[in-house]
Amino acid sequence: MRLPTLFGALGLLISLAVAPVARAEDGYDLWLRYRPVEAAARAPYAAAGAAIAPTAQTPTLSLARAELERGLAGLLGAAPASAEAGGRDGVVLIGTPETSPAIARLGLPLKAAGDEGYLIRTVRIDGKATTVIAANRDIGVLYGVFRYLSLIQTRQPVDNLAITSAPKVQLRMLNHWDNLDRTVERGYAGQSIWDWWKLPDHKDARYADYARANASLGINGTVLNNVNSKSLSLTAPYLAKAGALADVFRPYGIRVYLSARFSSPIEIGGLKTADPRDPAVKAFWKAKADEIYKVIPDFGGFLVKANSEGQPGPQDYGATHADGANMLADAIGSRGVVIWRAFVYSHEQPDDRAKQGFSEFKPFDGQFRDNVVIQVKNGAIDFQPREPFHPLFGAMPKSNLGMEFQITKEYLGFATHLAYLGPMYEETLRADTLVKGKGSTVARVIDGSLHDRKLTVMAGVANIGTDRSWSGSHFDQANWYVFGRLAWDPQASTRDIAADWARLTFSNDPRFVTPVVDMMMGSREAVVDYMTPLGLHHLMGRSHHYGPGPWVAGGERADWTSVYYHRADAGGIGFDRTPKGSNATSQYAPAVAACYADLKCVDDKDLLWFHHLSWDYRLKSGQTLWDGLVTRYSRGVAGVDAMGRTWADLAPYVDAERHAQVGDFLKIQRQEAQWWRDASVAYFQTFSKRPLPAGEAPPPLSLEQYEAMSFPYAPGI
């Protein structure tokens, strides 16, 4: 060997030895990366997962075993051997009492695991340390395997485990707003991953990867098509396509649901009406349900958007939401559920839009079938960066109420703004409705414990598309992740979940985890500040919802404008929802209502949601409303600056590819935050007619210039 070559080889060896562990990644692996545990952290896992005991071969148990093998091989290097439990130390034993005599013999307290939960225990079998991942049904075993692997992924000890975990919500589902032409309404992550054209004959490998990722979070249902749906989805060819997806998802514990267009009896049934009281209409839906169950025996049910934003519904025939939902529920019967959305409002209705969902549904409490769930958005308007909790939570004790969160960031900067939505979800879940005294939190409505409901739902509008990173950005994966974790346990801490996600997705190094979690936890508040501070809402650009549009007025309907919501004039700003105004506050329990209506009690963060106040009103900080508004806008921009600095400093812990993309997106976010601040300040100043607080820079462009900007190709519509 010539010397230069030797030096070259040595150099290569040395550089391999000191090179950062981070290697090129495109985000496809999500939080299931299973990269090797670094040598220094190996010791605690010396005996872990040395072998796996033989498992019965149900489709789900085969997946569980394959996942365990894949995870252990990735994390700990060698592929685990096969050995009987008790044969040696470090064997992992997985299964149910039915599938594994060894597990049956252990007599574990499996009752606590329920239908879908699991137990992970370290036990001694024939004197040998054994890890048992056991459940009542095989899906629980798969969930348990993911949990076990996540412990190693996050470098937690696994030698003395005593974990019991069971989901607190029964139906944990994604709602895809995917169209049959593969566009995704409010999607910012590429096209729909459902390739309808090639289904059912070609099943893209991605379908199984999708199911696996969801199963790792315990998500057990998926609505394949947009709530603004086409009847075509319910025709035989499309049912066959949906059936092919259901076949892929089944072993992962995921049931398929479909959005149903209420006027389908007319469009594909040859009827003249879709009146839910009409016998022919009932017969159509019964036959349709039977047809679906032939193709998809475990079909989950229908999701329905009715009489909302132009969608057909029972009210077109003078019938009620209860008539419509119950008719479909009867067609489905005990085989599945009907999820009926409470997101209804009408521009013909002069009342405050925030009140309409409550007004339309509350009177029907107790009239819905047992297999109907009313799915309620977290707030009363529409997925805004901040909304007080929806007054329907707690107000329908005799009905099944489900939560609908939006994971895709339609109103929080699309895919290029870094906003971890955990704190937003948590804020709603922890809000206290006070309907049954203190502690009547929204989480307890959703998990059914407050009103003793058995059928419980948490749904998230998916942020998934064909983008390599699935979610349009690396940090948007965290929103899918936190949604799934909260659906499993709505009381969980979203800070802890952020830490888990950061460790799984990037690095376990505390020098990375601590700052990144702090950054994530503050990120949504920064968005609130630079878009809709102090309880303002619905100020975005018309129709595409991109960028600021506080000036949006006129057009088809008032409740799609910004001026309807902020009501700024020379006298002040904000929507008076107190008894002196629209009285939306009265829809809450008396103590909550009184607080929201009382300027001494209401939090500044919700101020202009409930009150119209003069520009000189004094905030709790002592600032005037005008000054406080401007400084919050600027604070939001400063928050993005800080995120940019934090991220730049974290370069040593992240592979160059992902680091660069996040960095680029933070730059986009920085520019757009500034734009939101400047355009909003320029606009509101035309009403306040007050100078900017000291030190605040004037907007660089004129209001006319901001208003003239147009974005014909903004994504998501």
Shortest distance, position 343 Cβ to ligand BDP, whole Å: 5
For residue 486, give the H/E element and its range: helix 477-488
The answer to whether 343 and 404 have CB atoms below 8 angstroms apart is yes
Tell me which of 89, 195, 309, 606 is the catalytic residue. Answer: 309
The string over 228-242, giving b where at least 16 C-beta atoms fall within 10 Å of a residue's C-beta and e elsewhere, is ebbbebbeeebbebb
The answer to whether 175 and 305 have CB atoms below 8 angstroms apart is no
The answer to whether 384 and 538 have CB atoms below 8 angstroms apart is yes
Cβ–Cβ contacts within 10 Å for residue 89, how many? 17
Residue with tokens 């049934």, as numbered in its chain: 269
Residue 186 vs 255, nearer CB to ligand BDP: 186
Q: CA-CA distance, 140 to 147, in Å (whole number)?
A: 10
Residue 138 vs 559, nearer CB to ligand BDP: 559
Burial class (CB in 10 A: 0-12, 13-18, 19+), 388: buried
Residue 382 vs 627, nearer CB to ligand BDP: 382
Shortest distance, position 395 Cβ to ligand BDP, whole Å: 20
Active-site residue flag, 98 = no
The binding site for ligand BDP (CB under 6 A) comprises 185-186, 227-228, 305, 309, 343, 382-383, 410
Neighbouring C-alpha atoms within 13 Å toward the C-beta of 20: 13
Tell me which of 25, 67, 382, 500 is the catalytic residue. Answer: 382
Q: CA-CA distance, 420 to 517, in Å (whole number)?
A: 10
Shortest distance, position 542 Cβ to ligand BDP, whole Å: 11
Q: Give 3-state DSSP helix, strand, coil % of the chain, rounded to 5.
A: 45, 10, 45
Active-site residue flag, 556 = no
Q: 337 forms bridges with which residues in the sheet? A: 301
Residue 185 vs 606, nearer CB to ligand BDP: 185
The CA-based diameter of the chain, rounded to the nearest angstrom, is 91
Output the residue with the shortest Cβ distance to ligand BDP: 382
Q: CA-CA distance, 698 to 694, in Å (whole number)?
A: 11
Shortest distance, position 186 Cβ to ligand BDP, whole Å: 5
Tell me which of 116, 360, 410, 476 is the catalytic residue. Answer: 410
Shortest distance, position 375 Cβ to ligand BDP, whole Å: 10
Residue 41 vs 717, nearer CB to ligand BDP: 717
Shortest distance, position 461 Cβ to ligand BDP, whole Å: 7
Q: CA-CA distance, 376 to 357, in Å (whole number)?
A: 9
Shortest distance, position 185 Cβ to ligand BDP, whole Å: 5
Shortest distance, position 446 Cβ to ligand BDP, whole Å: 18
Using DSSP, state whether 498 is helix, strand or coil: helix
Residue 387 vs 410, nearer CB to ligand BDP: 410
Active-site residue flag, 672 = no
Residue 122 vs 228, nearer CB to ligand BDP: 228
Q: Which amino acid is at 419?
A: A
Residue 244 vs 376, nearer CB to ligand BDP: 376
Angle at 442 between CA 439 and CA 447, to 5 degrees: 100
Please state at what angle helix 205-215 crosses helix 59-76, rounded to 10 degrees. 80
The answer to whether 608 and 599 have CB atoms below 8 angstroms apart is no
What positions carry a catalytic annotation? 309, 382, 410
